[in-house]
Amino acid sequence: MKTGRRQVFNPYLPSWEYVPDGEPHVFGDRVYVYGSHDAFGAPIFCVNDYVCWSAPVNDLTQWRYEGVIYRKKQDPGNRLGIRSLYAPDVTQGPDGRYYLYYAFDFLGEIGVAVSTSPAGPFSFYGKVHHASGKVWGKKSGEQFPFDPGVLTDDDGRVWLFSGFATKVPFVASRWHNLRNDGGVVMELDRDMVTIRQEPHLLFPIKGRDGAYPGHAFFEASSIRKVDGRYCFVYSGENNHELCYAMSDRPDGPYTYGGVLVDLGDLYMNGNTDESHANNYLGNTHGGMLNIGDDWYIFYHRQTNRTSYARQACAEKLERTPDGGFRQAEVTSCGLNGGPLEGKGEYEARIACNLWAKGHTTARIDKGKKATEGHPYFTQSGKDREENGDQYIANMRDGATAGFKYFSFDGDERTIRVTGRGKGKFVVTDGKNTVATVPVGGEAAFSIGQGVHPLYFTYQGEDAADFISFAIR
């Protein structure tokens, strides 16, 4: 991105990186993000090994690759690497070491790895187990272990959260008849792997007594402390939003707080229609980050018309007078500390809104047939090729890509669109047309002083690829 100063965008990692399920933590003077690891073009979730990215707490524009921190073959039960590492979490234990909690896809157990550094590398440590030594998830009738979220409290007590809503039809459920009633919590001993307080159901799934209406627990357990209280973040029953609940105790009871972020900005301004969301929908997962007085929610978006190439995004949160959080709008500038500059060159991949003619979207997790004829994020090259260009493909007549937000000085400028196609883009600020630009050409650009979004609507008979735009 060529601009007048260093900026950060959504997705905040390089275009070739696919790290979903991001859990941000501050250790020392850096923020570390731990997530699962998708591959571009993969047919399933999370085929790559765990990696870590970090940034200084005082500059979230400078993300550094820490490398591979844990390989799936390091677990003694996965020496052949057949199973995939799903969403992890990390905590610093009472002994000062760093513990990484993970689940292998739908195996139904939680593994633990340990390191002396938050950037790893991590070494296999053990499996979460009962005091008897029996691994949790190996006894008939137990709650299904999945998506660990872990907290080392101020008093040194360690709390592990977990849960999944969908009935798993193979492996764990078939062999051990595991339950999936919702999100559970348990206390671990100071050894970080032995269950001290048995799993206790806190967050029932949809249809069960005590479920949060309209936003019942689905998956993606994450736990933080907020002003001395406990804030549980999770993916709700709609699967494309992250919600939260608050409690005075880590083991509950919790009170539902609201939606923190939704991939399509649903539930904002009264819109609940998935077919007219502001972006294409699929699962999301993440955690909260606190730096000083600022709070952020980390989540992931979908690309390539599948659920298997997801990318890390984040938004700043606003507090409510009662100590809660307002729903964050999905933007292109989440960690930037303000709007992007209204000049410079920007890649189309940072669009935060994307829809087909008539403001129509679909759920990506319904399969590629659901998104036929729709625009989508994709890339050239293979997985993790740093020279692979990410762009928006299949922009057909009436398709729109939206970018929020930019700060403009009111001066007359020109705008150029880079792409492939024979049509043109009509550029608006959401209300007024500010330019009409042929694909591959430029035009005069005029927009008022202040902070505005930019929407690019394609007009043409054939499909176009939208690569970038430049304002000069």
Domains of the chain are 23-340 (2.115.10.20), 344-471 (2.60.120.260)
Rounded to whole angstroms, the Cα distance separating 383 from 379 reads: 9
pLDDT digits 0-9 by tens, 137-162 = 999 899 999 999 999 999 999 999 99
- Look at residue 177 in the predicted model and tell me its pLDDT: 82
Active site residue ranges: 21, 219
Q: Give residue 167's pLDDT.
A: 73
The tens digit of pLDDT for each residue in 405-449 reads 999 999 999 999 999 999 999 999 999 999 999 999 999 999 999
Q: Is the pLDDT of residue 170 over 80?
A: no
Q: What is the mean pLDDT of the chain?
A: 96
**Residue, of 84 and 386, whose pLDDT is higher:** 84
Local confidence band at 327 (pLDDT 50, 70, 90 cut-offs): very high
Q: Encode pLDDT of 337-377 as tens digits.
A: 999 999 999 999 999 999 999 999 999 999 999 999 999 99
